[in-house]
Amino acid sequence: MKELPYKRILLKVSGEALSGGEKCGIDSEIIHFVSHEISSVADLGVEIAVVIGGGNIFRGFNSYSNGLGIERSSADYMGMLATVINALALQASLEDIGIISRVQTAITMQQVAEPYIRRRALRHLEKKRVVIFAAGTGNPYFTTDTAASLRAMEIHANVILKATRINGVYDMDPLVYKNAVKYSELSYIDVLSKNLKVMDSTSISMCMDNSLPIIVFNLLIPGNLLRVVKGEPIGTIIGNI
């Protein structure tokens, strides 16, 4: 069997992806689909960590900026709690199909999940348990993209896999512009200078400083996660190009 290019991955899943076609909430078909995609990779022996967003339940920044009267820090903490709900749902779905997982949160809530402890997370990964990181970094003003970059470096992941609903990174929104052009590869500087909004600038800069590659791909195509892990040219790769 050909050696896999990535032995330890950090999968970044947005909360919006879990809502399916709805504006909010968790779509049972989508979360079960995501669980089976993760299972197909776990079966190869790949060590998997997941950072999950909470935008399907509550978006802290949007609630702050839309004038709901919620102070920014409080709104961001509410968004962190939303990620915990999604993490527990994903954990339940994974364990329903026999995949052992652990949820670790950046905000201590012992009755719900483990606190984030790096060495404990590494031990879970070595035992081939899927580790789901929730509550972002535990600090307001930081996105779950930044949390993904931070956790990926802390656990020595080989790559960040940014799961989206489109086939990679385009020069324009392909859902709006039919003539949008897809990039097969980009440098970190390209992403920042072109303001491509793949991930926030803090997370891109962190990956650049540590030479951690990012692959942006469409998670909703069956088998795509497995193809990416096997090194097939799926999506857009961002790195030192």
136-164 pLDDT, tens per residue?
A: 999 999 999 999 999 999 999 999 999 99
CA pair distance 73, 139, nearest whole angstrom: 8
CATH of the domain at 44: 3.40.1160.10
For residue 36, being part of any structural domain is answered with: yes
Q: Is 91 helix (H, G, I), strand (E, B) or coil?
A: helix
For residue 1, being part of any structural domain is answered with: no
Note the pLDDT of residue 1.
Answer: 52
Burial of 61 from C-beta contacts in 10 A (0-12 / 13-18 / 19+): middle
Look up the domain containing 136 and give its range. Answer: 8-239
- Mean pLDDT, rounded, for 76-85: 94
For residue 15, being part of any structural domain is answered with: yes
- Mean pLDDT, rounded, for 10-25: 86
Handedness of CA 196, 17, 161, 232 (dihedral sign): negative
Q: Which H or E run contains 115?
A: strand 114-115
**Residue partners of 74: CB distance under 8 A and separation at least 6:** none
CA pair distance 116, 72, nearest whole angstrom: 24
Q: How far is CA 213 from CA 10, 74, 216, in A?
A: 11, 33, 10
Q: Is 219 helix (H, G, I), strand (E, B) or coil?
A: coil
- Name the more confident of 20 and 125: 125
Q: Is the pLDDT of residue 240 over 70?
A: yes
For residue 137, being part of any structural domain is answered with: yes
Token pair belonging to 220: 């909703």
Q: What is the pTM of this model?
A: 0.93
Q: Is 35 helix (H, G, I), strand (E, B) or coil?
A: helix
Burial of 164 from C-beta contacts in 10 A (0-12 / 13-18 / 19+): buried
Residue 141 is classified by DSSP as: T
pLDDT in tens, 162-201: 999 889 999 988 989 999 999 999 999 999 999 998 999 9
- Mean pLDDT, rounded, for 76-91: 95
For residue 2, being part of any structural domain is answered with: no
Note the pLDDT of residue 175.
Answer: 85
Note the pLDDT of residue 48.
Answer: 98
Amino acid identity, residue 75?
A: A
Q: Is the pLDDT of residue 65 over 80?
A: no
62 confidence band (pLDDT: 50, 70, 90): low
Q: How many domains does the chain have?
A: 1
Considering only 1-15, 87-101, 153-167, 180-194, which range has the smallest mean pLDDT? 1-15
- Name the more confident of 135 and 64: 135
Token pair belonging to 187: 């440098």
- Mean pLDDT, rounded, for 98-120: 97
CA pair distance 185, 107, nearest whole angstrom: 36
Note the pLDDT of residue 168.
Answer: 95
For residue 165, being part of any structural domain is answered with: yes
For residue 3, being part of any structural domain is answered with: no
For residue 126, being part of any structural domain is answered with: yes
72 confidence band (pLDDT: 50, 70, 90): confident
